[in-house]
Amino acid sequence: MEAVAKLKNVPMSARKMRLIVDVIRGKKVNDALDILRFTKQEASNWLEKLVLSAVANWEYKLNGESADDYDLIIKTAFVDEGSTLKRFRPAPHGRAHRIRKRTNHVTIIVENRIAMEAGEEEEYEVVEEATEE
């Protein structure tokens, strides 16, 4: 089972946010939270809250069952560019320089590695090749 959390219109360029998202992609949730807590960039503050929100969404889907019993990983994490506010700043000799205030949208999907029930198939099994000769 997987859960999604999205964060939209973060007032930061997508390039700066991608530097941190690339570090936590594919990691266990506890490891990712540790990395985000001890990273100095501003993006880590936004992402820490987003990962906690994704875990809370996962728990909500299971009617309040704790996520500590399952091995949650960050399955997918990506950053898209948002809208750009365009402003002008006065420059020497009567000119104007363009200021671009960029935003981004972040999406994180968490998924469990341990099977939920006996009825749910294991998602990470190796597919056997069918060679019957």
pLDDT in tens, 36-81: 999 999 999 999 999 999 999 999 998 888 888 888 999 999 999 9
Note the pTM of the prediction, 2 decimals.
Answer: 0.81
Question: Quick check: is 53 in a domain?
Answer: yes
What order do you get walking across the sheet with 96-112 strand by strand? Answer: 2-10, 96-112, 72-90
Inside any domain, residue 128: no
The per-residue pLDDT of the chain, averaged, comes to: 88
Positive or negative, the CA dihedral 40, 41, 43, 46 is positive
- The pLDDT tens digits for 86-133 are 999 999 999 999 999 999 999 999 999 876 654 455 455 544 555 554
Residue 119 is assigned to a structural domain of this protein: no
Give Cα separations from 22 to 10, 80, 109 (angstroms). Answer: 17, 13, 14
CATH, residue 28: 3.90.470.10
Alpha carbons 6 and 79: distance in angstroms, whole number: 10
Average pLDDT over residues 9-27: 96
Residues with Cβ < 8 Å from 94, sequence gap 6 or more?
Answer: none
